[in-house]
């Protein structure tokens, strides 16, 4: 990997478009990912995530646009670009007749690590992914979750600067998924840039520095998880439940009134008193806990008052679907008008 400075652009995607016949799988996709960042690619099935991953990995060529990896143009400097890339497709091409160790040595060899270096790399990868005890087992005899961990291990061969992980938690149980998230964090600390796709927001949102939401091949939103939660989910409002009378709670919370607004909402189903707190540019959680404890009370529940991140995500998908349907109707109307006029031009209707 070439020498890096802070903010080094590991992946640069510019105006990428992919067309299959009359179907636009990706349209004008542009973004950059810097070193030491985890970027989540989110969207429903068919949104274009896998197509994008196949283009970033060099498996597909874009119809239009460019992709640079560690400064190397994927079209013109393919070999150095891919040597800096580790790719885990949605359905990893594992070899069932190989042992885990043989497969990892093979992956290491693809990155130029052969002989003793290759065997040392295979051991390192097994330790990283918890597959040491399976080293001499045939891949074809492993469980689905263990096969997925082996595939992830192979992706990490050679410590590439860019990791492309398409639906990486497929087949993993909750414990393995938690271990995978820790692995992602470790790779980030080591300076790797990770692009991880999923249609399940909760599986990756907690570890992502940024999220890109796709639908129908279009980038419909981007930002950090905190951006979506704070800016789109109530703008910093909190819902607070305290199991005590409204008067007791108001007395305990009175001291916080100088830097936040507190509104009593009534009783929660549990019988606790519910308040909505609007922060004024300050995180008040520490002062809140201290004030409640000083009054001899405790907090039963403290959650964002607006929509959840999952609700925001689904709302964006629904909104983009509605916009797409409107665009489709406009296109159909234009086609009809062209047929009536006998026009034969083939402009991009979208």
DSSP per position, 67-85:
EEETTEETTTSHHHHHHTE
Q: Is the pLDDT of residue 347 over 70?
A: no
Query: With contact defined as beta carbons under 8 Å apart, do 206 and 169 qualify?
Result: no
Categorize the per-residue pLDDT at 20 as very low, low, confident or very high, splitting at 50, 70 and 90. very high
Q: Is the pLDDT of residue 82 over 50?
A: yes
Indicate the range of 126-130, 259-263, 264-268 predicted with least confidence.
259-263
Closest among 227, 223, 226, 231 to 42, alpha carbons compared: 223
- R_g (Cα) of the chain, nearest Å: 25
Do 201 and 83 have their domain in common? yes
Residue where a domain stops, chosen among 230, 250, 276 = 230
Distance (Å, whole) CA 272 – CA 243: 4
Distance (Å, whole) CA 82 – CA 69: 8
Do 217 and 251 have their domain in common? no
Do 25 and 148 have their domain in common? yes
Could you tell me the CATH number of the domain that includes residue 39? 3.40.50.300
Closest among 79, 105, 107 to 92, alpha carbons compared: 107
pLDDT in tens, 158-199: 999 999 999 998 888 889 988 999 999 999 999 999 999 987
Q: Tell me the average pLDDT of the chain.
A: 86
Encoded tokens for 130:
């918890």
Distance (Å, whole) CA 29 – CA 265: 44
Query: With contact defined as beta carbons under 8 Å apart, do 161 and 191 qualify?
Result: yes
Query: With contact defined as beta carbons under 8 Å apart, do 99 and 137 qualify?
Result: yes
Do 226 and 112 have their domain in common? yes
Do 167 and 274 have their domain in common? no
Beta-sheet strands, E only, within the chain: 9-20, 23-34, 38-42, 64-69, 72-73, 85-88, 162-166, 193-198, 210-215, 218-223, 237-242, 260-267, 273-279, 301-304
| Domains of the chain: total | 2
Domain that holds residue 247: 234-304
3-state secondary structure (DSSP) of residue 48:
coil
| 311 falls within a domain | no
Categorize the per-residue pLDDT at 223 as very low, low, confident or very high, splitting at 50, 70 and 90. confident
Do 160 and 273 have their domain in common? no
Query: With contact defined as beta carbons under 8 Å apart, do 218 and 27 qualify?
Result: yes
Residue 90: partners with Cβ closer than 8 Å, 6 or more residues away: 50, 166, 167, 170
Do 141 and 121 have their domain in common? yes
Q: Is the pLDDT of residue 324 over 70?
A: no
Higher local confidence (pLDDT), 8 or 308: 8
Distance (Å, whole) CA 48 – CA 13: 15
Do 52 and 201 have their domain in common? yes
Do 19 and 87 have their domain in common? yes
pLDDT computed for residue 302 by the predictor: 85
| 328 falls within a domain | no
| 337 falls within a domain | no
Distance (Å, whole) CA 349 – CA 24: 11
């Amino acid at each position: 990997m070439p020498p890096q400075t802070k903010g080094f652009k590991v992946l640069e995607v510019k105006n990428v478009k992919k067309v299959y016949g009359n179907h636009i799988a990706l349209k004008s996709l542009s973004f950059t990912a810097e070193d030491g960042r985890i970027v989540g690619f989110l969207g429903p099935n068919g949104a274009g995530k896998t197509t994008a991953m196949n283009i970033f990995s060099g498996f597909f060529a874009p119809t239009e646009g460019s992709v640079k990896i560690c400064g190397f143009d994927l079209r013109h400097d393919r070999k150095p670009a891919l040597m800096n890339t580790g790719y885990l497709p949605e359905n990893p091409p594992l070899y069932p007749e190989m042992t885990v160790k043989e497969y990892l040595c093979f992956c290491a060899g693809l990155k130029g690590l052969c002989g003793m270096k290759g065997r040392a790399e295979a051991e390192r990868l097994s330790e990283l992914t918890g597959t040491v005890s399976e080293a001499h087992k045939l891949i074809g005899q492993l469980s689905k979750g263990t096969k997925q961990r082996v595939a992830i291990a192979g992706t990490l061969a050679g410590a590439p600067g860019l990791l492309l992980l398409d639906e990486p938690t497929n087949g993993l149980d909750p414990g393995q998924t938690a271990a995978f998230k820790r692995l992602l964090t470790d790779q980030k600390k080591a300076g790797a840039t990770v692009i991880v796709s999923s249609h399940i927001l909760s599986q990756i949102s907690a570890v992502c520095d940024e999220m890109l939401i796709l639908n129908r091949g279009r980038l419909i939103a981007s930002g950090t998880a905190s951006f979506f939660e704070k800016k789109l989910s109530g703008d910093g409002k909190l819902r607070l439940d305290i199991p005590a009378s409204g008067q007791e709670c108001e007395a305990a919370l009175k001291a916080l009134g100088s830097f936040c607004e507190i509104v009593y909402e009534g009783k929660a189903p549990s019988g606790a008193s519910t308040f909505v707190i609007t922060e004024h540019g300050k995180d008040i959680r520490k002062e809140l806990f201290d004030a409640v404890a000083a009054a001899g009370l405790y907090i039963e529940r403290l959650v964002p008052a607006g929509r959840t991140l999952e609700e925001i995500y689904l709302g964006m998908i629904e909104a983009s679907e509605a916009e797409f349907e409107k665009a489709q109707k406009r296109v159909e109307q234009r086609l009809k008008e062209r047929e009536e006029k006998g026009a034969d031009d083939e402009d991009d209707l979208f």
